[in-house]
Each structure stands twice: as structure tokens, then as C-alpha cells.
Amino acid sequence: MSADDSNIENKNPRHIAIIMDGNGRWAQKRYMPRSFGHQAGVKAVRKIVEHCAKQEIEVLTLFAFSSENWRRPEAEVSMLMSLFMATLQREVSKLHRNGIRLRFIGDRTVFSDKLQGKIAEGEALTSENKGLTLVIAANYGGRWDICQALSKVAEKIVTGELKSQEISEKLINQYLSIADLPEPDLFIRTGGEQRVSNFLLWQLAYTELYFTPTLWPDFDQSSLDDAIKSFKNRQRRFGYTGEQVLEKSITL
């Protein structure tokens, strides 16, 4: 364990991962169509991205569309795709101006060529930026991520570049979607459900979990501050005892 692994010095999380849930219920409460909630959800994204950039958070990963969300009514899926496209078109240059580096994780090959083009363009334009790294999980599933990593590992075994005995956690990790980024320190799920819904399964192994009933469109800067405050008050132990963690913080 390094000094960075223990949170008792009340540091900010380096990486926050959020399941933005509750858009549909937010709209239904207002007797409006679910699409209205998704549009309001985009506004919340803007606020939270700005706030994270200001707080000097290194990485923000947002679950925008899961590999299971294709099961929704066709009209909602296509509305979400159009919203995704329109948001990219409108926001990428602004993100770039603010020094934000944009990344996408998930199986993008099923998206329209136009959308894939926009995604690639946004990533390329912002790739050298040094500010907040904003990771958008779109058609993402934690199980998909592990499968695609294993399939790359298997290919290397077939070509003889790797031996099966060399498979380790560290090795598999190298082939996962966000291998080059710090693991999520803080996971937030809005909307009241207490489940992971196939988000970053591997990467969440030691992440601090935070659930709030606040529906995503209502989640604002102060809601995020509350989540960060809760995180800062936790002792991360990574298997050690509380006493060991305290001792280490004194000697480190």
C-alpha cells in the first residue's frame, strides 16, 4: 500500500464514477415524457463536469448508456442516440476550450458511422489536454469490458506472445478500458437504486460506494460536495486493519 491508497488524510477522490440514474422518474413526476428527463440530465452533466474540473478532480467517468439499455422501447433508444449526437456536436469545442480530455468506453462499433466519427473526432481533438479526463461510458458493460480484455489476452496466447501461466490481475487489468487511468475512488449512483447495473465491475473492487435518492437531473454541485464529504470521512483499508492504516499514515 502506498501513501496514496489510504484516505485518512482527507484527500479529494482522484477518480469519480457516476451512474446517472433517475431521468425517467424525474420527468414522470412532472407528467412529462421520459425524453424531457434525459434532456434535463444533460444539463446536470454540464454542471457536474464544470464542478469536477474546478475541484481539480483528475477523472470523471459517467455511465451514459449501458449495454442493457438497448432493451428499452425503440423510440427511447433512438431519442437517446440523437441526444448523444447533438450533445457531442454542441459541447466538444467547449470541453476542448476548457482543457478537458474526452474519452469513450464501451462497444462503439454498433453506433452509426456518423456517431462513431463524432466520438473519434472528440477524442482526437482533446487528446493532449491536461485538465479533467471525462470518460463517457456508452454501450458499456463491465462484463463486456472483461470479455474484450480476455479475448485480447487469448489472442496473445495463440500467437505465443504470452503463456497462460503469465495471466495475472495486473496483466488482465492492462487490457481493460481505462487501464491507464487511476481506479475509481468514489462511485456515486443517483436515483435511489442500490446496485451496480454492470458498470465498472473489475475496477470497482475497492471503490467507496455512495448512493443517493436524488434523481440525476436534480444532482447539483452541492450534491456532489456531499458525496465527496462522505468519501473524505471514510477510512479506506484495502484489507489492512484500521490500526495498520493509521500507523502507515504516521510513518509514510
Binding site for ligand IPE (CB under 6 A): 19-25, 63-66, 69, 80, 191, 193, 195, 197
Given a contact cutoff of 8 angstroms between Cβ atoms, the answer to whether 132 and 52 are in contact is yes
Given a contact cutoff of 8 angstroms between Cβ atoms, the answer to whether 96 and 129 are in contact is yes
Output the smallest distance, CB 105 to ligand IPE, in A.
12
Output the smallest distance, CB 19 to Mg ion, in A.
8
Measured at CB, which residue is nearest to ligand IPE? 24
Which of Mg ion, ligand IPE, none sits in contact with 132, Cβ below 5 to 8 A by type?
A: none
Strand order in the sheet with 101-105: 101-105, 133-140, 59-66, 15-19, 186-189, 208-211
Output the smallest distance, CB 209 to ligand IPE, in A.
15
Distance CA 146, CA 167 (A): 13
Nearer to ligand IPE, 28 or 235 (CB): 28
Q: Name the residue among 196, 195, 186 with its Cα closest to residue 227.
A: 186
Is 233 designated active site? Answer: no
Q: Name the residue among 208, 210, 70, 48 with its Cα closest to residue 144.
A: 70
Is 21 designated active site? Answer: yes
- Residues comprising the chain, all counted: 252
Which of ligand IPE, Mg ion, none sits in contact with 66, Cβ below 5 to 8 A by type?
A: ligand IPE
Distance CA 178, CA 188 (A): 18
Out of 21, 183, 185, 208, point to the residue binding Mg ion (CB under 5 A).
21
Output the smallest distance, CB 48 to ligand IPE, in A.
14
Nearer to ligand IPE, 83 or 150 (CB): 83
Residues that bind Mg ion (CB under 5 A): 21
The residues carrying an active-site annotation are 21, 69
